[in-house]
Structure 1
Amino acid sequence: MSAAPLLWLLCAGGAAAWGPFLREDMRPKVSERRAQTPGEIAELPQGRTHFRWYGEPGNPVLVCVHGLTTPGYVWSRAAPLLADMGYHVLTYDLLGRGWSDRPMGAQDAQFFTTQFSDLLEALDIEGPVTLFGYSMGAAIASAFAAERPERIEKLVLVAPAGMGGYPTGLIRWMRDAGVSGKWLFNLLYPWLHGRTARGGIAEGVPEAKARMQAQEPMWRGFTPAVLAALRGILRDPQELEHRKIAKAGLPLLSIWAEEDQAIPLDGMGVLSRWNRASVSKQVPGAGHWLPLSHPEELVRAYRSWLWEDGEI
């Protein structure tokens, strides 16, 4: 074989090998869209963090933590309802998502709890807060509550990860497959994510929010952040954390989506074994997009729990 065809084959092979990573590096930076940010930016040690308040300052603080791929706007329908209950509601974007910075590297529990702790300090939030966590956000909230129970008034986990059983199938294989899994994840995940996001419309997600969610992989750092969290905070069940929460006596409510195709409902039984004082409720007809598709039902489940505890 002559030198020219051999060189062409080597170049083609290199392009195939590095293509998914080069495409990721060529995506626009999230800083290019911050002019449209519907909130504020906190300068934290790990990176700039986007946050937004709902409700009246001076009211008890309630913080909402979003999931693996859905930025803080996943709470945009539920947060005003929680504010109407008399809370000052804080939502924010986890690093690697939404309008927040995209640092590279591992995304284990400490990565996320440090961001949360730094945000509380930056915003001068001193007393105990009510903490809502959705999907992966529930795993983050649980890790923080186990580490700092004195900072938590009540813990509410919505369609919660952390009890095992997620992810499954191809996503699980890519998570566990080392460099080859990383290559395939960078190649396939933007398309898989867009398909899943657009499918939320059929579950009751407003079309505008579904479109926003489908576009997240177009921004640099999102896809690597998702894989880093799958290989980090979402890799192992949180039995130790939940047993610490139980020992601390923190009030804990878990709210589950009856038609959830992402988080197995048998997690309810797992959580009950780890924390027998926890309370579980289900939202009939809801899928995994619960905060966007069924915000009224979600807040009603929380209110009914407070009513049962004699707090309202």
Structure 2
Amino acid sequence: MTEWNIQGLNLHVQCLGAEGLAQPAVVFLHGLVMDNLSSWYFTMANPTARERRVLLYDLRGHGRSDRPVSGYDLGSFVAELDGVIRRAAFDAPVVLVGNSFGGLLALAYAMAHPERVDSLVLIEAHAHVAGWGEEMAATLSLEGEAANHKIALHFQDWLGRHSARKRNRLARNARELIQETSLIADLRRTPPITDTRIASVQVPVLALYGEHSDIRERGEALVATLPQARLKLFDGCSHSIMWEATARVRDELLAWLATRPAMVPGGVR
């Protein structure tokens, strides 16, 4: 297991692909609470690493990374991501691939550090709807059995992919993150991202959403606001397209990467 100390926190990091592979490198960002880097590692990361350098890490409070008591606002996640990218010392701007909250993080990072981003792939990304933080906080802040039931419903597609043992571990970690940190309070304070800020993102964006996703309209609004965005809807899928259509998502990602100019030592490939 590789650990990087970023802003005083030990983060679990995985780097794949040989040093000589083409840039831009790909950085995978997972979702919030009931997720970690393994959702990428066992699906998209290794196929991507055949052609590109790949970096994935557990966000603070998730997986094998440290779980601080506070610091779960979007700005802290952006600063953490910036520290990871700087530590990796890539030779060119990166492709950020984010699922759910990871997509929001990718978008926010592109706003804060446009010079370090080649393009974005946003998978079922929550974006700029007012009250998003309150909505997520309400889902996660119930107590006792009500909380367990609500969390299970919210993440049922993700949980259903794992053994009972792993489901129990994920649920336990989620409860600890919710109950023992400032996550809920920080989510409630999360302001919506304005259309003006979204429109400032000038890099190419691929947005992937399920045909029957409960946030499809948000995705359509997001794509309509971004200057260089393309929307792909997955027929028959809901919010969890990462699990419902893994191969199709992978194919879309690899096809997207093939369109990005590939820099190798000595010039363009």
Normalised to the residue count of structure 1, the TM-score between the two structures is 0.70
Contact 1:133 1:160 in 2 (8 A): yes
Partner of 1:148: 113
Give me the whole-angstrom Cα distance separating, in 1, the residues matched to 2:67 and 2:48.
29
The answer to whether structure 1 residue 217 and structure 2 residue 180 are counterparts is no
Give the Å deviation of 1:304.
4.1
The answer to whether structure 1 residue 123 and structure 2 residue 88 are counterparts is yes
Correspondence for 1:133 among 71, 79, 98: 98
1:237–1:210 CA distance, 2 compared to 1 (3 A): farther
Q: Deviation string for 1:60-107 (max 9, x for gaps)?
A: 2100011112111121212122223x1111111111111111122342
Contact 1:197 1:210 in 2 (8 A): no
Correspondence for 1:103 among 56, 65, 68: 68
Q: Deviation string for 1:209-244 (max 9, x for gaps)?
A: 6555334225x43543542453244x4245233111
Contact 2:94 2:116 in 1 (8 A): yes
Contact 2:118 2:203 in 1 (8 A): yes
Partner of 1:11: none
Normalised to the residue count of structure 2, the TM-score between the two structures is 0.80
Give me the whole-angstrom Cα distance separating, in 1, the residues matched to 2:8 and 2:225.
32
Structure 2 unaligned residues grouped into runs of 5+: 263-268
Structure 1 unaligned residues grouped into runs of 5+: 1-38, 176-180
1:240–1:108 CA distance, 2 compared to 1 (3 A): farther
Partner of 1:32: none
Give me the whole-angstrom Cα distance separating, in 1, the residues matched to 2:143 and 2:63.
18
Partner of 2:31: 67
Superposed CA RMSD in Å reads 3.1
**In the TM superposition, what are the counterparts of 1:1-312 in structure 2 within 5 Å?**
39-59=1-21, 60=23, 61-69=25-33, 70-76=35-41, 77-84=43-50, 86-164=51-129, 172=135, 175=138, 185=142, 187=144, 188-200=146-158, 205-207=161-163, 210=167, 212-217=169-174, 220-223=176-179, 224=181, 226-233=183-190, 235-245=191-201, 249-261=202-214, 264-305=215-256
Contact 1:155 1:251 in 2 (8 A): yes
Contact 1:206 1:292 in 2 (8 A): no
Give the Å deviation of 1:185.
3.5
Give the Å deviation of 1:251.
0.9
Which range moves more in the overlay, 250-259 or 55-64? 55-64
Contact 2:132 2:192 in 1 (8 A): no
1:274–1:149 CA distance, 2 compared to 1 (3 A): same
Q: Deviation string for 1:111-150 (max 9, x for gaps)?
A: 0111011112223234211111111111111111111111
Residue identity over aligned pairs, in percent, reads 21
Based on CA coordinates, which of the two structures has the bigger radius of gyration?
A: 1
Give me the whole-angstrom Cα distance separating, in 1, the residues matched to 2:83 and 2:204.
24
Greater per-residue helix proportion: 1
Give me the whole-angstrom Cα distance separating, in 1, the residues matched to 2:256 and 2:120.
12
Aligned residues: 256
Helix, strand or coil at the partner of 2:127: coil
Greater per-residue strand proportion: 2
Give me the whole-angstrom Cα distance separating, in 1, the residues matched to 2:32 and 2:182.
9
Q: Deviation string for 1:231-263 (max 9, x for gaps)?
A: 244x42452331110xxx3111111122324xx
